[in-house]
Structure formats: structure tokens, C-alpha cells
Amino acid sequence: MLRQFVTGLAWAAAASGAALSRRQASPETCPGYVLSGLTETSTGLTAALTLAGTACNVYGADLQSLSLTVNYDSESRLHVKIEDSGKIAYQVPTSVFPTPPTNGSVPAANSALEFSYTTNPFTFKVIRKSNSEVLFDSSAASLIFETQYIRLRTSLPADPNIYGLGEHTDSLRLNTTDYTRTLWSRDSYGVPAGQNLYGNHPIYFDHRGSKGTHGVFLLSTSGMDVKINRTEADGQYLEYNLMSGILDLYFLEGPSPTDVAQQYSEVTQKAAMMPYWGFGYHNCRYGYRDFYSIAEVVYNYSAAGIPLEVMWTDIDYMYERYIMTTDPDRFPIARVREYVDYLHAHNQKYIVMVDPAVAYQTEREYNLPYQTFLRGRDQGIFLQRNNSIFQGVVWPGVTAFPDWFHPDASDFWVNEFAEFFNADTGVDIDALWIDMNEAANFNYFGDNPQESAEERGFPPTRPALRSAPRPIPGFPAAFQPNASSPYPPDTLGYAPPWLAPAAAPNTKRSIAEEIPLEKRQATGKSLIGFPDRNLLNPPYQIDNANTIERYGGLSNFTLNTDIVHYDGHVELDVHNIYGAMMSQYCREAMEARRPTRRPLVITRSTFAGSGHAVGKWLGDNLSTWELYRNSIQGMLNFASIFQIPMVGSDVCGFGGNTTETLCARWAMLGAFNPFYRNHNGDSSIPQEFFLWETVAEAAKTAISIRYRLLDYIYTALYKQHTVGTPILNPMFFMYPEDSNTFPVELQFFYGEHLLVSPVTDENATSVEIYLPNDLFYDFYTYAPIQGQGATLTLNDIGFAEIPLHIKSGVVMPIRAESGMTTTDVRKQPFNFLVAPTASGEAAGSLYLDDGDSIEQKSTSEITMSYKNKMLTIDGKFEYLAEGNSLKSVTIIGLKGQPKGAYWSKVGSKYEEVWYTCPEGGWHYDGEHGSVTIEVGQKLDGAIKVKFE
């Protein structure tokens, strides 16, 4: 009998975690290890570790001998690896996470970090040499290393500032008392606080103010609990509790938060460059009924004067939710191609969703063969259990799941994309959205897939067919009303699938015949990791929110943890990288479709390093003020700490019903997410920006600001792509010695110089913000504001407004005007806004390229520096294809009217000549303390602008 979908989840936390173990031994009885046989290398050391006493076997068998390897990978990075001496334990495959480069390794004497140790029992410390700060100290508890459990603890200073360890919806600065961060990928609707969510990032930043910031990254895909606690007996500590694997630690010296971010980017691979248009505004909804709905939404945005860059479609476009299909009645391929052509003709883009789960069906509509399943089956691509294809239940009903470890998985995926997304005959998408890749499975462990699918009604019933209810200007004839259509002109474009009558109510579904496959694990392939482990009921049970019972609890709503992948990896070990592997294969498939163009792939499940391939949306949130606020810490974690810069939340919320004021505020905040998309669920009220007057006004205002700043944030992305400097910054990143910034999570820097301080309380028109002891300028009025290291209250903030302040010391490249698409924006000239420090200096940069190509034929990397009332524009000026020009320069913070303004353009063949701006060629605004100097020159060489 199928159990209720959420029965028992309320007590999951009480029934999971270490409390579920019924072992007699206690971790406190474990003897630890003794170090011997130490050998120094040119850049580190190696040693043996031997069990120091009687095995405790608390959650498995203690290993008698381990190997220690220490390497100073660079002056600022230390690598410490503790593994079983026989190298049997599972380790993260380098095909998924490439080994960070060590060609910059240095002798111990040249490192900023020191590795020290005690021999018996073996413990180690990592110390920053410059101030003797102990960054990591494993003497806090004995090391436990067993076949199914590893524990490592470090002491921490009192009241530490710890950030990271995602994915979560807890506070940005983590709680440090009786707190557990569980890492185990999970479909987590509503993104509840205090639980494991979609992705896994075992990196934390430990920020100690004037004593510096450091990072600790544990390269492990194991399910784990990271516990942070303070007790009278043990003091303050952080403790890793792993179910498998080894200890593979990277220590990042910092000493600033930005330094740690940059150093982490060297470990994870740099974040991918995204297409310029990806920073446009995106719209989606789960539950768009048919092609009429898509066309009407596109038209309504245009009619409302709200820029729409990208239109998305959720799984509604599929036949019965089968991936690589379109619904022949509601989304026939001919109509899909027509509205995609319309979008492309208007410089707009189109994105659809693809899930990993493949319908376990041999046929699709009209008894046509379902080739995606058949090809995957015949090639042996799908995961197997007990010599048959493993079956789960997802949106199409009974499903199979690709095995990303299969050597032909990439070719299979590339070929499916090439056929279905063929630019000439298929759905010509511009980018991709991937979901359900934790992997999500609607079954409890042990449920019968066919019974479960039938009882729950998967696939869901499709909405009734209709004809066009009204004209849609600009779209082809098939989108217009047709009096001879057999279907009624129903005006409801957002039909929830379960409210519509069944397309074939008397047809009982069947699944493909379950047959053993020959093309699977070849003879001689051995299981990776320790043998004879309990894969379904591991002795140490992490605090997984979906665990109801010990046996099979980790498999609830996902893949069974005893599945053995094609190459011998077991699902218990590699569960946390299923989504990351799918992400990589999807990027490769998109590149194969369009080899010269940058892919934009937005995923739900991520792992450390995923940013080198994809962007991330923050999952299925709810339309609540709490999650509106929490979206800020989510994107800061991913962009600033996890090195996934293209990140954003579902603006206005996915689940539940938004309100006009919440959606207006979120439309404003969302404009300062790198990834900006309005998306909601099929049971929620519609929330497109044009539906409310206040929201439409907010969206127009927000998008106008965002679009004028596109090159500012695109340049910030380029910096993260090249050196790892975050595209977004928590306040403590910019003011690391100001302790008042350490807990701030409702304000952030967009780039490095635009402080965003949204109104965060329901229906409020005021907000309390913190300004450090620094000079700021109001973004709208240019009024200087001297921060006092204190809070202040801003009042009378309308629902179409958001407080923005410029951190002094920057030259911001801003487009002169916005546009309806990013293509329009790129045609606009620049205004360089100079916001000097109190000492009268500022600097900035501008990166220009074609915004789309993987390999750029030419780029411009322009630097701007301001000093002594003169702006110097220099650098590399090689991207000339679009004729980018500098229209004007605006300098703010002036206290008196200038007497004159001048500019010069220096060419390599010419002497420097200064031109005096004529009357009308410059303008002083006494009310705002600014001068604007008209320049009107192409950005193809050095320029100087000054006033006196």
C-alpha cells in the first residue's frame, strides 16, 4: 500500500542522525592514531598513521593504517590528505572534480601557512605565519577513520564567524551552538530552514576580523554532518562526520575574504563566462497551458512596456512529461518553432526544462516509438539494480535514470540534444534549464513504481484543449481565433493540470517490459570502496530530512543507495554529484549543438566546482516575506563563497500565492540577482510583472537600472571568471575589520561598489540599514553620505523603489539608456560615473566582448583611474565590432562649480592634444554636486577627461 507522501517527516530529525545507531561503543573511546615514518619532501611531507590502541569500531571497522600527505600547493594553499594506506576507500573521481594544479607548489619555508603536528596521538594544526593564528586544530578530539565513518574535529575561537557549508536556507553567518549542516542532495520543496537541500558545498570561511579570514574545503561527496557546537567540556568546535571516503582538505590562507574566494576558485576551477543576454530579465511559470499561453505572455510584456529578454517553458511543453518530446496538441512542434522564431526575430530568447528521469515507456503519442528510452535501454545507459533497469517515479510516471558514469552517457546525451533541439527541425532553444537532478524520485524506498505512479496520478492529467480566445498581435495565423476549431476559445491560460479532464480516462498505463540488459557492468569491474559495507543501512546515519526509518532511509525520494554504477561506484558514495555530473553533460550537449556559443545552463543540484559549467537557481521557494529575505543569503553563499556567480531565486516566489506588494519588492530585489527570473508554480496565482500596476512600475524601474548597469556587472562576472573575485559581496567582504558587518545578511554589494539595501518587511516603506565608516553616494541623487559605522533609517521608500548607495572610490561604466532587450542596450553609448573618495580618487574597469562567443576574436579591457580632477581611460581597446563609445563623464561629490572642462584622445601616432569643451559641452548640477562632461568619442584608444 502506498504510504502518504509526507507521513512521518515531522519526526525525521528525531529518528535520524547518530541517535539512530544502537552501538555500544562511543566515539570518546576511540584511540586515535600514531604518526611514524615521516619523510619530508621538497614541498611537504608524507607519513604513516597507525591505530593507537584497541579499535573502537563505533560505526564500522577501524582502519589499522593510514597515509598522510601534506603539500604546500602554493604560498597561500595547503593540502592535507589522510587516506587508507591500501587506497581502497572511495575518493572523488578526478573526472568529476579535477585535481587542483600543484605546479605552483612551494617549500614549507615559502608558504604563508605552517603545518605542525604531534606524534602520539597524532593531531595537527594549521597556522598562519604572519600573526601565529591557529586556523585549524585537530587536537579537539581523536581522529576516527573507519570503513563507514570518519570523524575529524577542529577547535574554534569563541563566538566564531563561520560562513558557507551549503546548500541551506539558514542565516548567512551560521549558528555556532548545537548546529548541524547535513550534506545530502534532496528535492526540498519550500526550501525549509535547518535541513539539507539540493546541493553540497563542503567549504567554510572562518572570518576573524583583524586577525584575518581563511577557508577550509573538504573535497568529499560523502553524505556528512558538519556539526558546530560549544559545550563546557569541549569548548567551541567544528566537526566533520562522514559516511565514507577519505579526508582531503584544502586550507586557504586568505587573509581577506576576497583573497579566500580567489584562492578557492583556483581549487574549484574558475566560474564560466555566461552570455551577456543571460543578465536580461527571464519569465517562466509551471502551468502554461499551451502555445497560446506562451505567445500571450510574450505579447503582454511588450504591450506593458516591460522588457522581456527570455521566455521559458516548464515541463508543460512535453507529451505526458516525457523528456525530448512535445505535446502534439498543446505544444505541437510547428507552433513551438513559430513562437521561437518570433522571439528570435525580436532579439529575445527561449529556454525549456529537461529532467534526468526518462519515462519508462517504449511508446509515446500515436504509438510512435519513444526513442529516448529505447536508445538508452539498448545502449545500457540507465542505472540498474539487480540486473534490471532501476525504476523510480517522477513526472512522467515510472522512469529510468541515466548513469552518468557510463562511458557512453555523454554521447547518448549529446545525441538526444542534437536531435530534439535541432535548430532546423526541433526546438531551437538558446539555453537550458535542468531540474530534479538530486536525483529526485517521488517514491519511498521499497515502493512499487507502477502502483505508486498510478495511485499518485503521474503523469498528471493534461488541461483540456482549446482554441485561441482572442487575437495575439504579431503572431502567425495559427495563434489567432478560429471559428471552425472543434475546441472552445477558453480564456484561462494557466490551467493547473489536475483540474482538466483526462485526455484518455479509460486507458490504463503500462510500463516497458522489464528485461535484463547485457550491456552493463563488464566482467572484472570491481566495486569501488570498501567491500561488505551496509549500503542501505549505514551504521552512522546523517541527519537527512527524508530519513524516516534506518533501513533504506537515505534512499527515500531519490535513488537507492545500494545501486552500483557502471564503473563500480556505489550510489551511497556518489549521490551528491549526480546533479553536478548531469550539469557537465548538459553543458557539453549544448556546446555540441552550438560549438562556438557560450552555453547558459541553469541547474538545481550542484556540487563544489559546478560554477565552471552552470548557473544555479535557488530552488522551489515560497511566496513569503521570510524567503524573500532569505534569498539574499542564498545568492551570497553561491556567488561569493561557492563560486557559482550566475545565481538567483524564483522572483515573487514559486509556491503559494504572492501579493502585489511582495512581488513589487521582489521585482526590485531580483534585479540585483545575477540571474533574474520570475517563476511560480501551477497551483499558484499568476504573477507575471504586467498583472499589477505597482509591480509593473517596480519592474520597469528595476530593469531600467539593471540594464544600464549590465556592463558593470558583466565586467564583475569577467573578474570572477578570470581571478575569482566575487560578482556579489557580503558587507564583511568589503569591510572585514568592521565587526558590525559580520552578521549583516539583508544588505549586499552588487559588484564591489553598489550597496543594495532592500526594504524587507511586509508592507513597510522604511528600512534600517548599516553604513560603515566610509563615504557613500546616493545612487539616484548623488548626494554624499558619510557613514558613521552605525545604522540609520530610510523612510518613504515606495514599492517601486530600492535604496542604492555607491561606495566611494569607483568609476562605474553605465549605459546612457536602457532598452527592451539587451541587444538594444548594447547599442547605447556609455557614461562613466566617477564617485571619488574623500581624498578625491577613484578607479574602475570595463570589459567588452561580443557577449556570446566561447572563443573571442577580440576583447577590450579598459581601466579608469581618477586623481587630481582628471580621469584617465587606458588599457586594451581591441573590441571594436559594435562601435562602443563614451558619450560623457559625470563626476559627483563636487563642492563648487568648475571653471572649465577638457578632454583629449591619445593615439599612438599623435601627440596629446587637449580640447576645451565649449559652452553646452559640459554641465554643472549644483543641486547634486556633479559635473557632466560631453566626450562623444569611440572607445578605441586612451582618453583623458579633466576639469578645473
Long-range contacts of 789-798, Cβ-Cβ distance < 8 Å, separation of 24 or more: 789/738, 789/740, 792/768, 793/766, 793/767, 793/768, 793/769, 794/757, 794/766, 794/767, 794/768, 794/769, 795/765, 795/766, 796/765, 796/766, 797/759, 797/765, 797/766, 797/767, 798/765
Q: How far is it, in rounded angstroms, from Cα 526 to Cα 862?
A: 55
In contact, 53 and 75? CB cutoff 8 Å: no
Q: How far is it, in rounded angstroms, from Cα 794 to Cα 759?
A: 9
Tell me the three cell numbers of residue 151: 570523524
Tell me the three cell numbers of residue 13: 530529525
Q: What is the largest CA-CA distance in the chain?
A: 90
| Element at 770 (helix H, strand E) | strand 767-771
In contact, 674 and 635? CB cutoff 8 Å: yes
The verdict on whether 927 is a catalytic residue reads no
Residues 6+ apart with CB under 8 A from 505: none
Tell me the three cell numbers of residue 52: 593507537
**Three-state DSSP state, 595:** coil
The verdict on whether 438 is a catalytic residue reads yes
Q: How far is it, in rounded angstroms, from Cα 731 to Cα 747?
A: 7
DSSP symbol at 926? T
In contact, 239 and 226? CB cutoff 8 Å: yes
Query: Residue 881: how many CB atoms within 10 A of its CB?
Result: 11
Of 435, 711, 738, 934, catalytic: 435
Q: How far is it, in rounded angstroms, from Cα 707 to Cα 547?
A: 45
Of 309, 438, 543, 571, catalytic: 438
The verdict on whether 178 is a catalytic residue reads no
Residue in 75, 53, 76 with CA at minimum distance from that of residue 64: 53
Of 253, 290, 416, 620, catalytic: 620
> Helices 660-670 & 625-636, crossing angle to 10 degrees?
10
The residue behind cell 578530539 is 141
DSSP symbol at 244? S
Query: Going by DSSP bridges, is the β-strand pair 235-242/44-51 parallel, antiparallel, or unpaired?
Result: unpaired
Any idea which residues carry the catalytic annotation?
A: 435, 438, 620
